[in-house]
Amino acid sequence: MNPPPTRTATPSPRRRRGREDVLTAATALFHERGYDATSMSDIAARLGFTKAALYRHVTGKAELLRAITGPVRADVRALLAASAAGTGPPVDELTGLLRGLAGAAAVGPVRYALFWGLAGESGPPAPDAMCRAEVVRRLADLYERAVAQGDVRGGIAPRLAARLLMGAVVGAAVEPGGPGDGAGPPQSPSAVDVLLDGPVRFLTGGQA
């Protein structure tokens, strides 16, 4: 007689809510104080938990940060996949990817600030670091190809150009008081669009 199938335990609604509360508190504290400056004790105190109760939901800060930035990684990888499938001129693909990153960051500024390491995070989880590196590689490739086609003025190392452009558009979207500061999706035309147009038009001599 075969043994009965093993069933995977499903967290109770109360336990799921408890974990969601932990993630919400950790997100706020990481944003307010920085990842490195926030302790598990701080998170427990914000929730009114004991540390023992907190550890019933998560194993530590690294797990919390991975869970918080997980949706960001999914969004960024989707943008990278769409960019890889693009068939337009490199300068248009470059602009499109930057606009996508800026728009997504404006919708979720706190999570994006943590993902991009803009909130005091010195030890990023490997998945986040790898995803950020993929973005830099894609932007650098598009920039280099646009330079080769004469659509973008050269003189800047491709990886440096990629980091400068990425930092400008994402940084503006997650900056307190910026277009993504709790205001929801950016409107068109928006401050993000203006900021994005500036670097691209500068690099292209005003053609983009």
Residue 170 pLDDT class (50, 70, 90 cuts): confident
Superfamily for 69-203? Answer: Tetracycline Repressor, domain 2 (1.10.357.10)
The residue that leads in pLDDT, 194 or 80, is: 80
Average pLDDT value for residue range 110-135: 76
Residue type, 154: G
Distance (Å) of CA 40 to CA 63, 70, 121, 185, 201 = 12, 20, 15, 32, 45
Distance of alpha carbon 173 from alpha carbon 72, whole angstroms: 14
- The pLDDT value recorded for residue 183 is 47
Average pLDDT value for residue range 80-90: 93
The residue behind tokens 């490195």 is: 36
Average pLDDT value for residue range 172-189: 53
The residue that leads in pLDDT, 202 or 121, is: 202
- The pLDDT value recorded for residue 17 is 61
Residue 1 makes CB contacts below 8 A (sequence gap 6+) with none
Digit-coded pLDDT (tens) for 2-17: 555 544 444 445 555 6
Residue 40 makes CB contacts below 8 A (sequence gap 6+) with 51, 54, 55, 60, 61
Both structure tokens of 155: 């003189």
Average pLDDT value for residue range 181-205: 56
C-alpha 164: how far from chain center: 16
Half-sphere exposure of 193 (CA within 13 A, CB side): 6
Domain 13-58 shares a fold with domain 69-203: no
Average pLDDT value for residue range 141-166: 88
What residue spans of the chain are helical by DSSP H? 13-33, 40-47, 51-54, 61-84, 90-107, 109-115, 126-148, 158-174, 191-203
- Give the residue extent of every domain in the chain: 13-58, 69-203
Digit-coded pLDDT (tens) for 95-122: 899 989 988 888 888 888 888 875 545 5
Distance of alpha carbon 114 from alpha carbon 2, whole angstroms: 49
Average pLDDT value for residue range 61-71: 91
> Does the 13-58 domain belong in CATH 1.10.10.60?
yes
